[in-house]
Amino acid sequence: MKVASLALPEVRLLVPERREDARGWVSATWERSRLAAAGIEADFLRDNQVNSRRAGTVRGLHFQAAPFAQAKLMRVLRGAAYDVAVDIRSGSPTFGRWAGARLSAEGGEQLYSPRGFARGCVTLADDSELLLKVDRPHAPQHQGAIAWDDPDLRIDWGVDPHDAILSGRDRSAPRLRDLPPVAF
C-alpha cells in the first residue's frame, strides 16, 4: 500500500496495491499493521455506504466533537469523488487549511482524515457509491458542519455553487469563523 501525505501531513492518501489476473483484481483496502506502520492508529468500527445519484452532489463539511470525534477513511466503490479534509482544531498551526484528493473506483485511492478535521466530498460522476469508515459511533448530539462554500477556506470543489446538490443541513451550515471552538 502506498501512503502519501497531502497539503496537511495528517491527511493521507492511501493507494492499495491491486493484484490482477484474468478474473479481475484483489486489493487489501485496510490492514491495521500497514496503516500503523504509516502512523495511522485508527481502529475503525463502522462503515457507512453512501450513494449519490447525480454528479455535483456535495456532502459536508461534517465533523463530530469529543468524546465522539471521528477519524475517517473514505473510498469510492463506483464512480468518482473529490474528497476534502479541513483542519478545525483550535490552536493548530494549520487551522482552517485543507487538503483534498480525487478518488475513483477505478484508481482505488482512499483519503484518511484524523480526528479534529471536518470532511466533505463532491461526486464527479452520476450514481457514485462511497464507503466511509469511522472509528467512533455516530452521535447526533455531537455532530457539526461547516459551510462547504466558506469563502475563507477557498476550496475549489469543481462545481458551480448554483448547480451543487445539497442537503438542508449543509446549505445552512455556518462559516468556520462563526463556529465556536470545538473540543476533539
What does the pLDDT look like over 47-106, one tens digit per residue? 999 999 999 999 999 999 999 999 999 999 999 999 999 999 999 999 999 999 999 999
Q: Residues with Cβ < 8 Å from 94, sequence gap 6 or more?
A: 8, 87
Instruction: From 136, 138, 140, 96, select the one nearest 115 (Cα to Cα).
Output: 136
**Grid coordinates representing 149?**
462554500
What does the pLDDT look like over 66-83, one tens digit per residue? 999 999 999 999 999 999
Q: How far is CA 102 from CA 36, 49, 98, 108, 179, in A?
A: 24, 18, 14, 10, 27
Backbone angles phi, psi at 36, to 5 degrees: -60, -40
